[in-house]
Amino acid sequence: MPIPVMTVAQMRAWEKTTWAKDQTEAEVIRRVGKRVARCARQMTHPGDSILILAGKGHNGEDALAAKDHLKGRKVKVMEMLLPASDLTRLEMMLGDGPDLIVDGLFGIGLNRPLGEAWRGIIDRVNASGLPVLAVDVPSGLNADTGKPEGSAIRAAVTLAVGAPKAGLLSAQARSFVGRLELAADVGLAECAEAGEWWWTMEQDFMNFPPAREVDGHKGTHGHALLVAGGTGYHGAAVLAARGALRAQPGLVTLLTPGEVYTQVASQLSAAMVRSWQPGEPWPDSVSAVGVGPGLAPLSHSGQSAPAAAWSEWLAQLWRDCPVPLVVDASALDGLKNVAGVNLPADRVRVITPHPGEAARLLGTSPAAVQADRPAALRALSRKLGGCWVILKGHATLTGRAAGPGHVNGSGNPYLAQGGAGDVLTGYLTGWLAQPLAHKQGVARLLTHAVWRHGRTADILQSKRSGWTVEDLADTLGMD
């Protein structure tokens, strides 16, 4: 079931509903313990040592419940009830060199500054430099505001229970939360809480994409068109085309400037490649368009005469293109000419900026965008006529000026490689080209593509280090 990002009050209401339906707290704690243990096993190796730090509340009970499910690991438990005297014991435990610490000291109920003794314990855990798995919320972090209550655990992974808490996604919380994962199926009742932002999970796509008709053909599954590439950036066009092919539309055509045609065409087999300039026609069968990867003439560093021609063409395309349009990379700067243009309700327009590109469009700084990513996404969509915005980065956001927004739950820091966004642009265009994929709505199509892109990176990272964007393009969507 879809899970909203929740406040603490909403989480308490959900728990209250669960207890009213005869589910016991003990059973939920047991299930949480199993999920914590599974995450701890993923973060360690057989024979490794795990230190569980448990406070006196339900958060501590959740952490303690993991112990029985950690066979093959050396587990030590420290129940911390008297912080003034527990620091010495903690020093001894840390001296044994555990490979992982499970943090179950404080949960979502913390809403006041910690005392000096507790701050000392948390600071000592942080100073150890050991990886920490935080249960539900890093201890010391306010789950609503994302601000430390004096001091907070810096976790490698935070396993949110039931639903992500709003504070965990705030800018100030990122360095404490680490990778945010979700233990959704822990025995809670069906969620009746609503939210502005929803966490994207694999379960959301159990019936997507729809099954193809047995008598379908190339024309049935759409024609994705990409306009990409430029001198010094021809690789971006190749990666975008390979991303589009991974979505498996019926046809993929890549239009690229003549000066890089040979370099681009020589690296592609399944995609059709044509030399092209603005104003030249393209096939009538095109069902989605992606523009931007490697289009050096649209660089924000200056507006040459060719760049002005490209910008004028892009503005017209944004206004008039009858099929879905994805704009990315340097082409985003050309959209300054269409600010305030209202889009017809049936026109699908998607932009995929990283924080720096978003900042240029909004006339602000990347730091300001990162400080309130949801607000930046809404502002971008309003400025560009209500278009869809995929704001890339940690916990990529997808949404529009109004309505539900989506927070991506997949991906990892190793996606921060040149070319990863080009692959995503192609992949999005490849999906948008397919009429069948639209049957469940544009939001589901976009969030699926973003989630699958991140999921592929997670699978690659779990198998080996040193993978490249070429590996991403080779394996996208194949898990």
Q: How many domains does the chain have?
A: 2
Cα 46 to chain centroid distance, Å, stands at 30
Is 3:97 a contact under the CB 8 Å cutoff? no
Residues 158 and 224 in one domain: no
Q: DSSP states of 318-378 as a string?
A: HHH-SS-EEE-GGGGGGGGGGTTPPPPTT--EEE---HHHHHHHHTS-HHHHHHTHHHHHH
Instruction: Decide if 301 is inside a domain.
Output: yes
pLDDT of residue 297: 54
Instruction: Decide if 283 is inside a domain.
Output: yes
Residue 384: CATH number of its domain = 3.40.1190.20
pLDDT of residue 301: 46
Residue 263's H or E segment, with its range, is helix 261-265
Structure tokens that stand for 367 in this block: 């730091």
Residue 14: CATH number of its domain = 3.40.50.10260
Residues 56 and 162 in one domain: yes
DSSP 343: P
End residue of a domain, out of 178, 194, 210: 194
Phi, psi angle pair for 274, to nearest 5°? -135, 145
- Which residue carries 């179950």 as its tokens? 104
Residues 156 and 238 in one domain: no
Give the whole-angstrom CA distance, residue 339 versus residue 315. Answer: 10
Instruction: Decide if 303 is inside a domain.
Output: yes
pLDDT of residue 344: 84
Instruction: Decide if 202 is inside a domain.
Output: no
Cα 253 to chain centroid distance, Å, stands at 28
Give the whole-angstrom CA distance, residue 59 versus residue 211. Answer: 43
Residues 295 and 189 in one domain: no
End residue of a domain, out of 124, 159, 194: 194
| Cis peptide bond upstream of 209, omega within 30 | yes
Residues 282 and 167 in one domain: no
Q: Which domain holds residue 170?
A: 3-194
Residues 186 and 254 in one domain: no
Give the whole-angstrom CA distance, residue 174 versus residue 277. Answer: 43
Phi-psi map region of 185: left, alpha, beta (phi>0 left; psi -120 to 50 alpha):
beta
Give the whole-angstrom CA distance, residue 209 versus residue 453. Answer: 15
Instruction: Decide if 199 is inside a domain.
Output: no
Give the strand pairing for 197-200 and 272-275. Answer: unpaired
Give the strand pairing for 325-327 and 349-351. Answer: parallel
Residues 419 and 298 in one domain: yes
Q: How far is CA 344 from CA 221, 225, 357, 383, in A?
A: 25, 22, 25, 15
Residues 180 and 227 in one domain: no
Phi, psi angle pair for 389, to nearest 5°? -125, 130
Give the whole-angstrom CA distance, residue 378 versus residue 372. Answer: 10
Residue 59's H or E segment, with its range, is helix 58-64
Q: pLDDT digit of tens for each residue in the chain (479 aa)?
A: 679 999 999 999 999 999 999 899 999 999 999 999 999 999 999 999 999 999 998 999 999 999 999 999 999 999 998 888 899 999 999 998 999 999 999 999 999 999 999 999 999 999 999 999 999 999 999 999 999 999 999 999 999 999 999 999 999 999 999 999 999 999 999 988 888 999 999 988 988 888 888 888 888 899 999 999 988 899 999 999 999 999 999 999 999 999 999 999 999 999 999 998 888 899 999 999 999 999 875 544 444 445 677 788 898 999 999 999 999 998 998 888 787 778 888 899 999 999 999 999 999 999 999 999 999 999 999 999 999 999 999 999 999 999 999 999 999 999 999 999 999 999 999 999 999 999 999 999 999 999 999 999 999 999 999 999 999 999 998 87
Residues 184 and 239 in one domain: no
pTM over the 0.95 mark = no
Is 325:291 a contact under the CB 8 Å cutoff? yes
Residues 170 and 262 in one domain: no
Give the whole-angstrom CA distance, residue 5 versus residue 142. Answer: 15
Three-state DSSP class for residue 473: helix
Residues 6+ apart with CB under 8 A from 165: 5, 6, 7, 8, 11, 108, 136, 137, 143, 144
End residue of a domain, out of 159, 194, 229: 194
Instruction: Decide if 205 is inside a domain.
Output: no
Name which of 162, 68, 70, 69 is nearest 107 in CA terms. Answer: 162
Torsion, Cα of 16, 20, 22, 24 (10° steps) = 20
Instruction: Decide if 207 is inside a domain.
Output: no
pLDDT of residue 278: 85
Residues 257 and 392 in one domain: yes
Strand-pair partners of 274: 255
Give the whole-angstrom CA distance, residue 172 versus residue 147. Answer: 6
Q: Give ∠ CA 133-451-244 in degrees, rounded to 5.
A: 145
Residues 96 and 227 in one domain: no
Name which of 287, 363, 282, 358 is nearest 322 in CA terms. Answer: 287
pLDDT of residue 2: 78
Structure tokens that stand for 50 in this block: 């795990």
Name which of 306, 373, 358 is nearest 328 in CA terms. Answer: 358
Name which of 244, 242, 200, 238 is nearest 222 in CA terms. Answer: 244
In which order are the strands placed within the sheet that holds 349-351? 3-4, 197-200, 405-408, 397-399, 388-391, 349-351, 325-327, 288-291, 223-227, 251-256, 272-275
Instruction: Decide if 318 is inside a domain.
Output: yes
